[in-house]
Each structure stands twice: as structure tokens, then as C-alpha cells.
């Protein structure tokens, strides 16, 4: 197989950006953040678009600008409100970093996004990609904005075999884009590349027949489009196993637990989670399956009698009783949730219980009783949202 890179003459380089821009002028996607090139709007959209698809971002973008219309509003926002605006988008440090940058902009740049690349890149959460996007779109700076789309397009155009997952490959793509990008319309050029990568030069089954650059694509001419881009590293997701405790008191409030301020899903709320081993989890899940097959009925009101609790040390109830002795637990889980993060996979068995009316449950510092009607004012990550859906379904049975 031919693994040599393609080299373009100056004439070929000069042809590329006009073709791409002509295509963009015809086919550009009409997106909310393209209505104008206000730096703040560009910034918000580019941060949201990191690792996130356009269709997902659109509603968040509107709401975010509604809640925080200016950099000043963002700088002064409550952390909780900020997180709420990002709820469900993922990578929550993005919005914390954005607020930190907004405060920085208020102090250092009088509340206005700086217009030179060095100052833009000095802001927290703005790296080479986002800096290039803001600089080129909002200020017409001739800076590349190289994301996964662009690396895919260029790896195919030039048959670049550099592993896109390695930091040192960045330089290779940076040089190629700088050699070919439009000096007159850098922002449109960068956006055109992203559109091309998203709609034509897609990861699987690219639509080469409609590509404006098909005559100059090395990978296509060699019938190697599926060989690019090259990426070797595989991400391993570590499985984690939990029992989630949905405890209700006599006011029908649920116990919620606020996660630590560092790490995964920082400062977000879930039902209390008890980590269990894989073997314990598997056994519980198996018991539950058997139970469902035996009874063929909802287990909604099937509680463990108080006098039996001590006999059930190895069961779900045994574990729950150890965790929360002042709760009456249902015999079996009421649902299972699985959720994949970037580096972890959570397996959750949802257990439901009620506090004994005569006993006061001791709350930890980070715990609170909350009625379902007030769930909206708490920031829930996806696994928690999935568990709430299960509770909802069971309630309506």
C-alpha cells in the first residue's frame, strides 16, 4: 500500500481554498451562532461545540445567551445557575473555565474579548482550536482552527499517516492548514472545513461524490478514504458498580447527595450511591432477574419485614440495611441504569426505601431532602436523570 504523503504545488494550494469557499457559500449550514460574528457568541458556541454535536448544542446555545446575555453576566453568574445551564451537555469544567475566563476578561480587558491571538489563548478553557476559531471568525485573524473534523479532512487530502491522537501530530496539521488557508476569509475557511468534515468528509462512508475537493483528495485517488485518519489509541472504560438509594420520607421527599467539588460530575446531585464489587452487583442483578421471572408482577410494595432483615446479610437488603439501618427497603431493585462516560462505565441498581416514620434519618453535610417537584432546581447528570425516569414509570403503574 502506498503510504507516501501527497505534496501540492503552489498552484494546487492556491486552488483549494476558493473551491472550498465556493462550496461553503452554497452549502453552509444556517446555525444560530452564524447570524453574526459577535465574539461572545462565537466563544459560547465554540466551547459548547467541543466534543458535542451541532443538534445537541442549538437549544443550549439559545438558553445560555438568554440567561447570560453578556460577558459581564457570565462573570457574575451563580455557580449553580451556570451548571444548570450546562446540565446534560457534559464536560462541565468547560463552563467553569468559561466563567473564570469571563472574570479575567472583565479585569484585564475591560469586559471585551481581546482581539489578538496571544491574549485570546491566555484565557482559561481556550486552547489552540477554540482560540483559532474565535480569532478567525470574530476578528479575521489568519489562524487555523484544527479540530477532529479538520484533521480528518487534511489526513485524507494529503494521506497524512500521523496519529491524530498524539500531541506531536498537531504541528503537522497546523503547518498544512496554514499553507492552504484563505488569507481573505479565514473565519469562513475554518467554518467551511468543519462543515465539510461534518456533512461530507464523515468518519464512516464519506460522500466523496459530492465533495468540492474530490479532484484533489489523495486518499480518494488511492481508494484509501477508510484508512484515514490514523488513530491508534483506544480508550478503556473502567466498569464501576453501585447501588443507588432512592429513599423517601413521609413527606414524599427523596434524599439527594451533592457530589464533591472535584472530579467526575463535580458539585452535581444524585441519589446516594454505594459502591459494590462486580461479583456482589452481578449476584444482586441475577437475583432480581429470577425474582421478576418468578412473580411476573411489579415488586412495588414488596418490603422486607423488619424481623427478617438480620437473616439477609448477603442480599441487597443486607447491604442496604448496613448502609441505612433506619430505612424500610423494598426487597428488590426497581430498575437498572447503565451509563458510559469518557473513561468509566457505571452500572447502577436502583433500590427504593422509606424512612421509618418514628425515626429521624441523620443527614450528612452534603445531603438534603427534596420533593420531586423541586428536582428541576437541582443539577442532575444523565445517570440521575435516567433514574428519575424509572421512578416516574414505577409511580404511574
Catalytic residue positions, numbered? 46
| Position among 16, 42, 136, 147 found at the interface with DNA (CB under 7 A) | 147
Residues 6 or more apart whose CB falls under 8 angstroms from that of 219 comprise: 155, 156, 157, 159, 225, 227, 228
Distance of alpha carbon 6 from alpha carbon 157, whole angstroms: 8
| Position among 2, 36, 53, 279 found at the interface with DNA (CB under 7 A) | 53
CA-closest candidate to residue 148, choices 102, 194, 211, 103: 194
Residue 85 binding DNA, by CB under 7 A: no
Q: Which of 71-79, 112-120, 358-366, 376-384 is the region at the interface with DNA (rule: CB under 7 A)?
A: 376-384
Distance of alpha carbon 13 from alpha carbon 15, whole angstroms: 5
Residues 224-243 that bind DNA (CB under 7 A): 229, 231, 234-235
Residue 261 binding DNA, by CB under 7 A: no
Q: Which of 36-44, 61-69, 86-94, 217-225 is the region at the interface with DNA (rule: CB under 7 A)?
A: 86-94
CA-closest candidate to residue 143, choices 92, 189, 93, 98: 189
Residues 6 or more apart whose CB falls under 8 angstroms from that of 293 comprise: none
Task: Give the shortest CB-225-to-DNA separation in angstroms.
Answer: 12
Q: Give the Cβ contact number of residue 85 at 10 Å.
A: 19
Task: Give the shortest CB-86-to-DNA separation in angstroms.
Answer: 9
| Position among 65, 200, 381, 390 found at the interface with DNA (CB under 7 A) | 381
| Position among 17, 99, 149, 270 found at the interface with DNA (CB under 7 A) | 149
Residue 359 burial (CB < 10 Å; 0-12/13-18/19+)?
A: exposed
C-alpha cell, 17: 481554498
Residue 389 binding DNA, by CB under 7 A: no
Task: Give the shortest CB-250-to-DNA separation in angstroms.
Answer: 32
Residue 67 binding DNA, by CB under 7 A: no
What is the enclosing helix (H) or strand (E) of 238? Answer: strand 238-248
State yes or no: cis peptide before 324, omega within 30 of 0.
no
Strand partners, 119: none
Three-state DSSP at 176 gives helix
CA-closest candidate to residue 391, choices 333, 317, 346, 341: 333
Q: Which is nearer to DNA, 131 or 272 (CB)?
A: 131
Q: Which of 16-24, 200-208, 320-328, 357-365 is the region at the interface with DNA (rule: CB under 7 A)?
A: 200-208
| Position among 6, 19, 28, 52 found at the interface with DNA (CB under 7 A) | 52
Three-state DSSP at 84 gives helix
Residues 313-372 that bind DNA (CB under 7 A): 338-343
- Given the rule CB under 7 A, which residues bind DNA? 50-53, 55-56, 88-93, 97, 124-131, 147-149, 151-152, 164, 166-168, 197, 203-205, 229, 231, 234-235, 262-266, 338-343, 381-383
Amino acid at each position: 500500500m502506498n503510504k507516501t504523503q501527497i505534496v501540492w504545488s503552489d498552484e494546487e494550494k492556491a486552488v483549494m481554498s476558493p473551491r472550498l469557499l465556493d462550496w461553503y457559500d452554497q452549502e453552509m449550514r444556517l446555525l444560530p451562532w452564524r447570524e453574526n460574528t459577535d465574539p461572545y457568541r462565537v466563544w459560547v458556541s465554540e466551547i459548547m461545540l467541543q466534543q458535542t454535536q451541532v443538534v445537541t448544542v442549538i437549544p443550549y446555545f439559545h438558553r445560555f445567551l438568554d440567561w447570560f446575555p453578556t460577558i459581564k453576566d457570565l462573570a457574575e453568574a451563580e455557580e449553580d445557575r451556570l451548571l444548570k445551564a450546562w446540565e446534560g451537555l457534559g464536560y462541565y469544567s468547560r463552563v467553569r473555565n468559561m466563567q473564570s475566563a469571563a472574570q479575567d476578561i472583565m479585569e484585564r480587558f475591560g469586559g471585551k474579548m481581546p482581539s489578538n491571538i496571544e491574549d485570546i489563548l491566555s484565557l482559561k478553557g481556550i486552547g489552540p482550536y477554540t482560540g483559532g476559531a474565535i480569532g478567525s471568525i470574530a476578528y479575521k485573524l489568519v489562524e487555523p482552527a484544527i479540530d477532529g473534523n479538520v484533521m480528518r479532512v487534511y489526513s485524507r487530502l494529503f494521506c497524512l499517516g500521523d496519529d491524530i491522537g498524539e500531541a506531536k501530530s498537531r504541528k503537522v496539521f497546523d503547518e498544512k492548514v496554514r499553507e492552504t488557508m484563505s488569507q481573505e476569509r479565514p473565519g469562513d475557511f475554518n467554518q467551511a472545513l468543519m462543515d465539510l468534515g461534518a456533512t461530507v468528509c464523515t468518519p464512516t462512508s464519506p460522500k466523496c461524490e459530492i465533495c468540492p475537493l474530490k479532484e484533489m483528495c489523495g486518499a480518494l485517488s488511492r481508494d484509501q478514504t477508510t484508512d484515514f485518519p490514523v488513530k491508534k489509541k483506544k480508550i478503556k472504560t473502567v466498569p464501576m458498580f453501585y447501588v443507588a438509594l432512592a429513599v423517601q420520607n413521609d413527606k414524599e421527599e427523596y434524599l439527594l447527595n451533592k457530589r464533591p467539588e472535584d472530579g467526575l460530575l463535580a458539585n452535581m446531585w444524585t441519589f446516594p450511591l454505594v459502591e459494590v464489587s462486580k461479583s456482589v452487583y452481578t449476584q444482586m442483578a441475577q437475583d432480581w432477574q429470577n425474582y421478576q421471572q418468578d412473580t411476573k408482577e411489579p415488586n412495588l410494595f414488596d418490603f422486607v419485614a423488619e424481623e427478617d432483615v438480620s437473616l439477609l446479610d448477603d442480599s441487597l437488603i443486607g447491604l442496604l440495611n448496613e448502609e441505612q439501618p433506619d430505612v424500610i427497603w423494598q426487597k428488590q431493585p426497581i430498575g437498572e441504569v447503565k451509563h458510559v462516560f469518557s473513561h468509566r462505565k457505571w452500572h447502577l441498581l436502583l433500590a427504593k426505601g422509606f424512612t421509618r416514620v418514628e425515626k429521624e434519618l441523620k443527614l450528612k453535610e452534603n445531603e438534603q431532602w427534596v420533593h420531586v417537584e423541586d428536582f428541576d432546581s437541582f443539577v442532575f447528570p444523565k445517570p440521575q436523570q435516567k433514574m428519575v425516569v424509572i421512578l416516574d414509570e414505577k409511580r404511574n403503574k
